[in-house]
Amino acid sequence: MSDKKDQGLARGLTNYGDRDFSVYLRNSFASSMGYSKEVLKKPIVGIANSFSGFNNCHRHFPELVEAVKRGVLLGGGLPIEFPTISLGEVYLNPTSLKFRNLMSMDTEEMIRAQPMDAVVLLGGCDKTVPAQLMGAASADLPAVQLVAGPMMTSRYQEERLGACTDCRRFWGKFRAGEISKDQIEDIEGRLATTSGTCAVMGTASTMACISETLGMSLPGTAAIPAVHADRLRAAEASGLAAARMIDHPIRPSEVITEKSVENAVRMLLAVGGSTNAIVHLTAVAGRLGIKIPLSRLNDLSDTTPVLVNLKPVGQHYMEDFFFAGGAGAVLRELKPLLHLDTPTVAGITLGDRLEQDPGYVDHRIISKAATPLEPKGGLVALFGNLAPRGAILKRSAADSTLFEKEGRAVVFTSLEDLAKRVDDPDLDIAPDDFMVLQNAGPKSASGMPEAGYLPIPKKLSSMGVKDMVRISDARMSGTAFGTIVLHVAPEASVGGPLALVRDGDRIRLSVAEKSINLLVDDDELARRREAWQPVNVPPEARRGYDRLYAETVLQADAGCDFDFLQPLGSTDD
pLDDT digits (tens, 9 = 90+) for 217-263: 999 999 999 999 999 999 999 999 999 999 999 999 999 999 999 99
Angle between helices 276-286 and 97-113 (to 10 degrees): 30
Q: What is the mean pLDDT of the chain?
A: 96
CA 221 to chain centre: 17
Helix (H, G, I), strand (E, B) or coil at 5: coil
Matching CATH number, 380-536, of 3.30.1330.40, 3.40.190.10, 3.50.30.80, 3.40.50.80 = 3.50.30.80
Sorted by sequence, the CB contacts under 8 Å of residue 403 that are 6+ apart come out as 395, 483, 509, 510, 511, 512
Buried-exposed string 429-444: b where 16+ CB fall within 10 A, e elsewhere: beeebbbbbbbbbbbb
Instruction: Judge whether 266 and 332 are in contact, CB under 8 Å.
Output: no
Q: What DSSP assignment string belongs to 134-155? A: HHHHHH---EEEEE--BPPPEE
User: According to the model, what pLDDT value does residue 325 have?
Assistant: 98
Which of the four pLDDT bands, split at 50, 70 and 90, describes residue 572? low
Helix (H, G, I), strand (E, B) or coil at 222: coil
Calculate the alpha carbon distances from 194 to 58, 61, 90, 318, 490 in Å.
10, 13, 16, 13, 39
Residues 386-405 pLDDT 10s: 999 999 999 999 999 999 99
Residues 459-507 pLDDT 10s: 999 999 999 999 999 999 988 899 999 999 999 999 999 999 999 999 9
Average the pLDDT over 549-555 and give the result. 97
Which of the four pLDDT bands, split at 50, 70 and 90, describes residue 4? low
Distance CA 505, CA 39 (A): 70
Rg (CA), the chain: 24
Half-sphere exposure of 132 (CA within 13 A, CB side): 33
User: According to the model, what pLDDT value does residue 272 have?
Assistant: 96
Buried-exposed string 63-81: b where 16+ CB fall within 10 A, e elsewhere: ebbebbbbbbbebebbbbb
pLDDT of 573 strictly over 90: no
Q: Is residue 293 reached through a cis peptide bond, with omega within 30 degrees of 0 on the bond before it?
A: no
Distance CA 6, CA 12 (A): 8
Instruction: Judge whether 95 and 448 are in contact, CB under 8 Å.
Output: yes
pLDDT of 1 strictly over 50: no
User: According to the model, what pLDDT value does residue 2 have?
Assistant: 41
Give the domain 43-152+194-354 fold: Rossmann fold (3.40.50)
Residues 337-386 pLDDT 10s: 999 999 999 999 999 999 998 899 999 999 999 999 999 999 999 999 99
Distance CA 63, CA 70 (A): 11
User: According to the model, what pLDDT value does residue 255 have?
Assistant: 98
Q: CATH 3.40.50.2300 in the chain, residues? A: 43-152+194-354
User: According to the model, what pLDDT value does residue 479 have?
Assistant: 87
Average the pLDDT over 95-103 and give the result. 97
Average the pLDDT over 544-568 and give the result. 96
Sorted by sequence, the CB contacts under 8 Å of residue 446 that are 6+ apart come out as 94, 95, 414, 415, 439, 440, 474
Helix (H, G, I), strand (E, B) or coil at 310: strand
Q: CATH 3.50.30.80 in the chain, residues? A: 380-536
Q: What percentage of the chain reaches a pLDDT higher than 70?
A: 98
User: According to the model, what pLDDT value does residue 457 have?
Assistant: 96
**DSSP label of 554:** P
Closest Cα to residue 502, out of 413, 389, 402? 413
Sorted by sequence, the CB contacts under 8 Å of residue 195 that are 6+ apart come out as 56, 57, 58, 59, 60, 148, 151, 226, 227
**DSSP label of 418:** H
Q: Is the pTM of this model over 0.85?
A: yes
Q: What DSSP assignment string belongs to 44-79? A: EEEEEE---TT-GGGTTHHHHHHHHHHHHHHTT-EE
